[in-house]
Amino acid sequence: MKFWRACRNGMFLVSSSMFFCSFANAQQAPAKEAVSFDLLVTGATIVSMDADRHVIENGFLAVRGDQIVDIGQDAALHYPKGIVAKARMDASGKLIIPGLINGHTHVPMTLMRGLKDDVVLDDWLHKFIFPAEARNVTEDFVRWGSRLGLAEMIRSGTTTFADMYYFEDAVAEETKAAGIRGVLGETWIDFPAPDNKNEAEMAAYTENFIQKWHGDPLIRAAVAPHSIYTCSEKTLRDAAALARRYHAPILIHVAEMRKEFVDSLEKNGTTPVQYLERIEVLGPDVLAAHCIWTDNTDMKILAERQVGCVHNPSSNMMLASGVAPVVDQRAAGMRVGLGTDGPAGSNNDLNMMEEMDLAAKLQKTYRVDPRALGAKGALEMATIEGARALHMESEIGSLEAGKKADFVVLSLNAPNAVPMYDVYSQIVYALKGSDIETVVVGGKTLLKDGRVLTVDEPQAVAKAREYGKKVAASLK
């Protein structure tokens, strides 16, 4: 591999067996006078996830407003006339990666964590979750569940997430307050939901929701028809039409379990993906969760339609839903991101560091090939490929000048963090959510020295305990 070395007059390129490399803005002339930034981060090993996958030793990030305005190696050498920064962060001996992107979850379900595990998906939904939601989910429930989940996501390095639940406007308000980016979908479903009892109410709520958050720098309001097995063709078409009227994303579960696949063949005469194609739902505005039961024709359609797909390894394993052919999907040109799914029954946490590790290992086991989906591929799915799945790659997913200042700082001082021979391997297979020290979104620090700054964690934890008792009592 190659990396940049500093010399007296600039940078030169040398070969090395080490993993460090950097573009360091080598052709940019040094500033002639002191420059000013809102935030300057120095001294880190920066894993950029840019197009060339540069890794920068002794790197710096310069932030102005909510954007990265410069990135390179050795800030003092790059700006010999000096730097004026409102805030500085010394990240010497630490690792910086782009903020992680959780492409699919149901965040308020933190308050049902562990409610019922070790059952198949169809039973889990219809015998336990749907009844529990009908008896317990209110706007207040959603707010407190969101606060708990947002704190958990911040702690484990998530800076953008896609969510599908009820009272999604409340989720948006809590997400905005916490400072995270959210692509947030109001659920449409063919039975009375906790917030809206029929399609007319769902449509009215969703339209107001989209209008309210239009143009917000952190929140993208979306329409979320739940799935082909809970929504009629009319509901699916109406939901997609509303989304497209406002150029809003469409979030949906697709080809999630074998039963869905078999039922679609019997009812629709084709696969779930090909059914959605036939009724004109698929397109680049669709974010499809799971995509497990997909054949070659399905994969070709999803790639051609530029549908974003989200792999959820923990959920798929926990519910024994099957294994998504991620290696084949990526080879087919599909946009494949990574998600945790909901933190209840399908995955009892929201930790994207764990999800990367499991994604790589699951593909190796599935294909009986240790070379399948390496560590770099797993990190791509949680960062730049996750951004591509959301069609947000011009804004987030990598650390480059002009993109949003969303990044995570990891300590390399814990026993599990040393020694380090390959940076991608270390991130995916060795480092944990507990190694994350700092999280920044849009230049704003959300986690500092391991402390969440934008959510009252003790209060959220106390409320979660209260709700746990209420939910348990409601099911007796």
User: pLDDT truncated to tens, each residue of the chain (476 aa)?
Assistant: 333 333 323 333 333 333 333 344 433 444 558 899 999 999 999 999 999 999 999 999 999 999 999 999 999 998 999 999 999 999 999 999 999 999 999 999 999 999 999 988 888 888 888 899 999 999 999 999 999 999 999 999 999 999 999 999 999 999 999 999 999 999 999 999 999 999 999 999 999 999 999 999 999 999 999 999 999 999 999 999 999 999 999 999 999 999 999 999 999 999 999 999 999 999 999 999 999 999 999 999 999 999 999 999 999 999 999 999 999 999 999 999 999 999 998 899 999 999 999 999 999 999 999 999 999 999 999 999 999 999 999 999 999 999 999 999 999 999 999 999 999 999 999 999 999 999 999 999 999 999 999 999 999 999 999 999 999 999 88
> Is the domain of 255 the same as that of 349?
yes
* 220 within domain boundaries: yes
Domain stop point among 77, 93, 109: 93
* 140 within domain boundaries: yes
* 270 within domain boundaries: yes
> Is the domain of 272 the same as that of 364?
yes
3-state helix, strand, coil in the chain (%, to 5): 40, 25, 35
User: Which value, to the nearest 10 degrees, does the dihedral of the CA atoms of residues 114, 119, 125, 126 take?
Assistant: -120
Task: Enter the DSSP assignment of 194.
Answer: S
- The enclosing domain of 253 has a CATH number of 3.20.20.140
> Is the domain of 127 the same as that of 204?
yes
Q: What token pair was written down for 390?
A: 């959301």
CA atoms within 13 A on the CB side of 303: 15
25 lies in which domain range? 2-93
Query: CA 207 to CA 231: how far, in whole Å?
Result: 18
CA atoms within 13 A on the CB side of 18: 15
Domain stop point among 389, 419, 440: 389
Structure confidence at residue 119 (pLDDT):
86
DSSP 37-88: EEEEEEEEEEE---TT--EEEEEEEEEETTEEEEEEE-HHHH-TT-EEEEEE
* 396 within domain boundaries: no
> Is the domain of 284 the same as that of 371?
yes
* H or E segment and range at residue 3: strand 2-7
Q: What is the pTM of this model?
A: 0.93
Residue 61 near residue 73 (C-beta atoms within 8 A): no
* 379 within domain boundaries: yes
> Is the domain of 191 the same as that of 88?
no
**SS3 of 181, please?**
strand
* 412 within domain boundaries: no
Residue in the block written with tokens 């090909």: 274
Contacts by 90-94 with C-beta closer than 8 Å and gap 24+?
90/42, 90/43, 91/41, 91/42, 91/43, 91/44, 91/409, 91/438, 92/42, 92/43, 92/44, 93/43, 93/412, 93/413, 94/43, 94/44, 94/45, 94/409, 94/410, 94/411, 94/412, 94/437
Closest CA to 171 of 150, 199, 200: 150
- The enclosing domain of 30 has a CATH number of 2.30.40
Cα 164–Cα 445–Cα 111 angle in degrees, nearest 5: 35
Structure confidence at residue 126 (pLDDT):
86
> Is the domain of 210 the same as that of 226?
yes
> Is the domain of 283 the same as that of 156?
yes
Residue type (1 letter), 29: A
Residue 172 near residue 240 (C-beta atoms within 8 A): no
Structure confidence at residue 32 (pLDDT):
58
Task: Enter the DSSP assignment of 368.
Answer: T
> Is the domain of 45 the same as that of 135?
no
Q: How many domains does the chain have?
A: 2
> Is the domain of 34 the same as that of 128?
no
> Is the domain of 207 the same as that of 301?
yes
* 157 within domain boundaries: yes
> Is the domain of 121 the same as that of 169?
yes
* 395 within domain boundaries: no
Residue 364 near residue 373 (C-beta atoms within 8 A): yes
Domain stop point among 93, 108, 133: 93
> Is the domain of 123 the same as that of 254?
yes
Residue in the block written with tokens 């009252």: 456
Structure confidence at residue 13 (pLDDT):
35
Structure confidence at residue 363 (pLDDT):
98
